Structure 1
């Protein structure tokens, strides 16, 4: 993580033509070499799984192997999204132990790490609920765990600055209720009025094949930190969407997605913008229906608006030289991968990118992109 004087690195299998177990083993072998020079505290595994039983078994086995390899418990997210070039990709996050003290507050599927530097506290972790097939019940369980974690760590809920929400079968239905809309309703209830003054977190809401509901978060408690929402003038804020773009009957509960388009974050001399999962939406309507290349172009232009000169000029700090960093590109249909990758390369060249096969939160959206911008 940049603000922890570290960053992230991607591990891809060197034996990409082999089966999943061999690819995973190869990634772990590479991880062992990387860990000898960096202090890794979190691993994200993006894995192509065929069932929830396979998902659960792989996750259990991986936790054992990683603990043996690292020598201590670290944060693990096991995300059932198929990489588009192999069967597994690993994101490894590391930090600088000379500047930050790291304490594991809890382990396992609801792992929590606390980073301390003077009076600054940063809480990072995962909550996971895969008890049944009902999205609402899993979401309620996950947010109950989230609220409890924050209470035990003595962090206010509105200290969350970045969040990732992974939903199994995001566009599916439980009876007459769409699963993403159910998740949004539960999130709205859990948040209550906590974010009314500070604005919501930057966030990504994205589909995965198996695994129930998985939530990752970054929260900050410090008088040395300044953070605030960043808006795209061309888009209506997601939390202000009208009923017309929310799925469900008029008589049913339909709350809006509670996140900001982006969020500015400054800690001492480190300044960045967390860019939420972004799609081809102008106002609140999808643009480029059926055209993956057009949607990718509009998506990137939407992201660029979030660090355009007039937006940066409105920030409370003097900033310059925005540099777009690591990014994930979520692709709805494998057949669109080549077209989407071509547009991303046109805009960002050889930027480190992970391409993931994942369903997007609207039927007509074909691509979603997230990232961060480093400022000086």
Structure 2
């Protein structure tokens, strides 16, 4: 990752690998060929799995292959979101081991890598619960394990600065309760008042085909680093949405999504902005109904607003020059892929981008984009 003096790369399987298993083997084999002078510590596999057995088998096989081929442990995720160009795609994170000490931490249903340098500690990992058909139960279990993992590593809840929330069947219902709303209710309970003084983490809430509830996170403990929330003046902050855009009956519990539109991090001279999952919303209203290209344009305009001069002026330090450095694009319908990709490339050119098929947190949203901005 950038703030660890590393970065991320994407690995696609070789053209000759046709089955999901062979594509996994191809991706893992290519991990051995990475010659960046840095050290891999985390791999996400985005995969097109046909059923729960296929998902569970892939998860088991990926961990097995990684442990067989590498002497040091890694944080490994299987995210059931089909890539739009292959059956499986590896997202590989690496860091500079000459600058950062690292320690692998594993707890039940979760794992993380702890990085330390001159009194600054960063914890990066994941937790998952996939034991129930109920989103509420899986979310409650995941956050319980999340809290346990943070506590074991000595990190308070309000140390979380970036979070990815993957929900199976995000727009579905358990009886009369919408799954994403149930997740938000559980998250609000877990966060309680911990973020009252610091602002919430940047976050993405996105659908996946199976896997229950999976949370990825970055947490920070440091007196030397600076982190702060950033807002888009053209959007209502998600954590103060009105009941109009929250799903549930008149008397239902409806907690707002607790995240910031973006979050700044500055540590050891590395300055960047985490861009949360962003969609075609102005105020709190969806723009461009039924038009994937229009929604992509509005989404990108929202993202650009988050590193405009107006927003950057809040960050200490002169001469900050923003560069949008990476993006992950979630596409709701495969038929819209070309229109969305063309629009992204029209705005960002050859920017490193990965396109994933995934459901978005509102019925009428067709695309969601997240990324990072590097400040130099």
Q: Which residue of 1 aligns with 2:354?
A: 354
Alignment of 1:186-265 (within 5 A): 186-265=186-265
Alignment of 1:1-376 (within 5 A): 1-15=1-15, 18-34=18-34, 37-106=37-106, 109-376=109-376
The secondary structure found in structure 2 opposite 1:371 is strand
Distance, in Å, in 2 between the alignment partners of 1:367 and 1:130 is 26
2:208 touches 2:358 (CA, 8 Å); kept in 1? yes
Distance, in Å, in 2 between the alignment partners of 1:13 and 1:30 is 8
- Where do 5+ consecutive residues of structure 2 fail to align? none
* Deviation string, structure 1 residues 148-207 (Cα, Å, up to 9, x no partner): 111121111111110000000000000000000000000000100000110000000000
Distance, in Å, in 2 between the alignment partners of 1:148 and 1:60 is 23
- Where do 5+ consecutive residues of structure 1 fail to align? none
> How far does residue 268 in structure 1 lie from its aligned partner after superposition?
2.4
> How far does residue 319 in structure 1 lie from its aligned partner after superposition?
4.6
2:109 touches 2:145 (CA, 8 Å); kept in 1? no
> How far does residue 51 in structure 1 lie from its aligned partner after superposition?
1.3
1:15 touches 1:26 (CA, 8 Å); kept in 2? no
Distance, in Å, in 2 between the alignment partners of 1:107 and 1:61 is 20
Distance, in Å, in 1 between the alignment partners of 2:48 and 2:126 is 20
Distance, in Å, in 2 between the alignment partners of 1:361 and 1:92 is 26
> How far does residue 270 in structure 1 lie from its aligned partner after superposition?
0.9
2:135 touches 2:182 (CA, 8 Å); kept in 1? yes
1:111 touches 1:125 (CA, 8 Å); kept in 2? yes
1:75 touches 1:107 (CA, 8 Å); kept in 2? no
2:331 touches 2:358 (CA, 8 Å); kept in 1? yes
* Deviation string, structure 1 residues 319-350 (Cα, Å, up to 9, x no partner): 52200011100000000000000000000001
> How far does residue 107 in structure 1 lie from its aligned partner after superposition?
5.9
> How far does residue 71 in structure 1 lie from its aligned partner after superposition?
1.8
The secondary structure found in structure 2 opposite 1:155 is coil
2:102 touches 2:114 (CA, 8 Å); kept in 1? yes
> How far does residue 16 in structure 1 lie from its aligned partner after superposition?
6.5
TM-score (norm 1): 0.98
- Structure 1 window deviating more from structure 2 (13-22 vs 222-231): it is 13-22
Distance, in Å, in 2 between the alignment partners of 1:242 and 1:85 is 38
Distance, in Å, in 2 between the alignment partners of 1:86 and 1:182 is 32
1:312 touches 1:319 (CA, 8 Å); kept in 2? no
> How far does residue 296 in structure 1 lie from its aligned partner after superposition?
0.1
Distance, in Å, in 2 between the alignment partners of 1:342 and 1:87 is 22
Distance, in Å, in 2 between the alignment partners of 1:46 and 1:364 is 24
Aligned residues: 376
> How far does residue 316 in structure 1 lie from its aligned partner after superposition?
2.5
Name the Cα RMSD after superposition.
1.2
> How far does residue 317 in structure 1 lie from its aligned partner after superposition?
2.8
2:38 touches 2:97 (CA, 8 Å); kept in 1? no
The secondary structure found in structure 2 opposite 1:34 is coil
Distance, in Å, in 2 between the alignment partners of 1:169 and 1:142 is 16
> How far does residue 91 in structure 1 lie from its aligned partner after superposition?
0.6
TM-score (norm 2): 0.98
Distance, in Å, in 2 between the alignment partners of 1:319 and 1:220 is 25
1:17 touches 1:86 (CA, 8 Å); kept in 2? no
The secondary structure found in structure 2 opposite 1:115 is strand
